[in-house]
């Protein structure tokens, strides 16, 4: 009986999601570790393509292991925004309380000033596949440098 109720509840939630009654944001707010905007889950990207794109688009200001014009990126996925030691963040980003989930990174790379008005980062990746690939590359670089 409980099992049936449980299944029915899942069915209702899924139906509400499909109909747009429950927005992903609303669902995300029930998960305490996800702070700030939360986007829908995306397909997994291509980390190799992402590495090439990272080299081309991001390394003017960032690197994996050193703070530069922008903060270092190793371990960024899952990290709290504005938390890299030794890097001086803009006030809005420092106060944002965002966690760099893959979903939040997707929103960030789509338009940094839209997600965090007042940020210094301007580079946008309008192409969803490019964003997924860069995020896949960043996700591969979570371990501390040996």
Partner 1 sequence: MTESNTNRRNILTGAATLSAGGLLALAASATPAAARSTRKSSAKAAGQDAELLNAAIALEHQGIGAYDIALGSGLVPASATDLVKTIQGHHKQHRDDLAAAVTRLGGKPVESKTIADYAKELNAASITSLTDIQRLALRLETGAANAYLGLIAPLSDSGLHLLVAQMAADEASHAAIFILDLKEAYPAKAPLYG
Q: Can you give the binding site for partner 1, defined by CB under 8 A?
A: 56-57, 59-61, 66-70, 90, 111-113, 117-124, 126
CB of 55 to partner 1, least distance (A): 9
Nearest distance from residue 108's CB to partner 1, in Å? 12
In the complex, the smallest distance separating the C-beta of residue 105 from partner 1, rounded to whole angstroms, is 16
Q: How many residues does the chain have?
A: 146
- Could you give the CA distance from residue 40 to residue 47 in angstroms, rounded to a whole number? 20
Residue whose C-alpha is closest to residue 62's, from 73, 76, 53, 51: 73
Q: Would you say 116 or 135 has its CB closer to partner 1? A: 116
Q: Which is nearer to partner 1, 57 or 74 (CB)?
A: 57
Whichever of 15 and 123 has its CB closer to partner 1, that residue is 123
Radius of gyration of the chain (CA): 17
Tokens 């860069």 identify what position? Answer: 134
Residue whose tokens read 């596949």: 129
The residues pairing with 29 across neighbouring beta strands, listed in sequence order, are: none
Of 111 and 139, nearer to partner 1 (C-beta) is 111
């Amino acid at each position: 009986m409980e099992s049936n109720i449980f299944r029915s509840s899942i069915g209702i939630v899924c139906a509400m999601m499909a109909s747009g009654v429950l927005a992903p944001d609303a669902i995300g707010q029930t998960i305490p570790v996800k702070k700030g905007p939360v986007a829908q889950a995306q397909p997994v990207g291509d980390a190799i393509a992402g590495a090439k794109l990272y080299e081309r688009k991001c390394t003017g200001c960032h690197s994996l292991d050193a703070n530069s014009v922008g903060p270092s990126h190793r371990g960024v996925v899952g990290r709290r925004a504005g938390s890299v030691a030794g890097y001086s963040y803009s006030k809005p980003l420092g106060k944002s309380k965002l966690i760099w989930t893959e979903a939040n990174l997707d929103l960030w790379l789509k338009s940094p000033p839209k997600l965090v008005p007042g940020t210094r980062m301007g580079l946008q990746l309008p192409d969803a596949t490019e964003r997924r690939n860069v995020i896949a590359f960043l996700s591969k670089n979570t371990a501390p440098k040996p």
